[in-house]
């Protein structure tokens, strides 16, 4: 089925088209989500949110990009939204602790559980350290780095998803790598002493 026909079937609410969409994109969306939020339950919840958004918004899809690019964009945005909310909750919890509120704080980082099938590093601890460092990057750098280095998307695909130029992608990747080197160097220097 041609993409235009497939999109038309989705807009018409075809169960067969929705089934095909899930078959075709479910693993890709989950993989993207777990790259940004390396906690399986959270990644599954976000992936479900992505498909709900796709189903609810397919009528608004203009076709300016490929369907896959649009779905990646939704996935990335949902993940970043989740991270922002999580960080806001952590800041709120910190503020509560400063004013002496007895509300228990969730001191666990969402990087404590890590199980990304696409990343093969020596052990879980190194994965956690790496993903914690990636999480400390500015949002634009984190997004571009994750899509290119972890999801293995080309510069052009990342540019399409983020709606940035390729030169902008290259610049963000360069800065992300430099920042990661500093973050990881500081971590290892601190733990060696």
Of 27, 22, 77, whose CA–CA distance to 10 is shortest? Answer: 22
Q: Are 158 and 144 in contact (CB under 8 A)?
A: yes
List own/partner pairs for 57-63 with CB under 8 A and 24 or more apart. 58/7, 58/10, 58/11, 59/11, 61/7, 63/4, 63/7
Regions of the chain short of the pLDDT cut 70? 1, 88-125, 191-193
pLDDT at 192: 66
Q: Are 183 and 133 in contact (CB under 8 A)?
A: yes
Tell me the per-residue pLDDT of 32-86, one tens digit each, with 9 for 90 and over.
Answer: 999 898 889 999 999 999 999 999 999 999 888 899 999 999 999 999 999 888 8
> Structure tokens of 174?
């360069």
- Within 13 Å and on the Cβ side, how many CA atoms surround 185? 6
CATH numbers and ranges of domains, the chain: 1-113 (1.10.1740.10), 119-193 (1.10.10.10)
> Structure tokens of 107?
């001191």
> Structure tokens of 142?
């984190």
pLDDT at 69: 93
In angstroms, the CA 134 to CA 146 distance is: 8
pTM score, whole prediction: 0.68
């Amino acid at each position: 089925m041609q993409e235009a026909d497939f999109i038309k079937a989705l807009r018409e609410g075809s169960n067969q088209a929705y089934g095909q969409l899930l078959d075709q994109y479910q693993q890709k969306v989950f993989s993207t989500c777990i790259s940004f939020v390396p906690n399986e339950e959270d990644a599954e919840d976000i992936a479900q949110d992505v498909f709900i958004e796709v189903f609810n918004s397919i009528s608004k899809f203009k076709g300016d990009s490929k369907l896959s690019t649009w779905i990646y964009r939704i996935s990335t945005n949902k993940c970043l939204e989740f991270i922002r909310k999580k960080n806001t909750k952590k800041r709120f919890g910190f503020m509560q602790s400063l004013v002496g509120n007895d509300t228990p704080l969730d001191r666990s980082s969402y990087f404590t559980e890590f199980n990304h099938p696409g990343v093969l590093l020596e052990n879980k601890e190194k994965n956690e350290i790496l993903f914690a460092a990636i999480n400390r990057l500015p949002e634009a750098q984190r997004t571009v780095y994750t899509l290119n280095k972890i999801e293995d998307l080309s510069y052009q695909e990342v540019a399409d998803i983020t709606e940035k130029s390729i030169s902008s992608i290259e610049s963000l990747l360069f800065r992300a790598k430099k920042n990661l080197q500093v973050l990881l160097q500081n971590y290892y220097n601190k733990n060696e002493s």
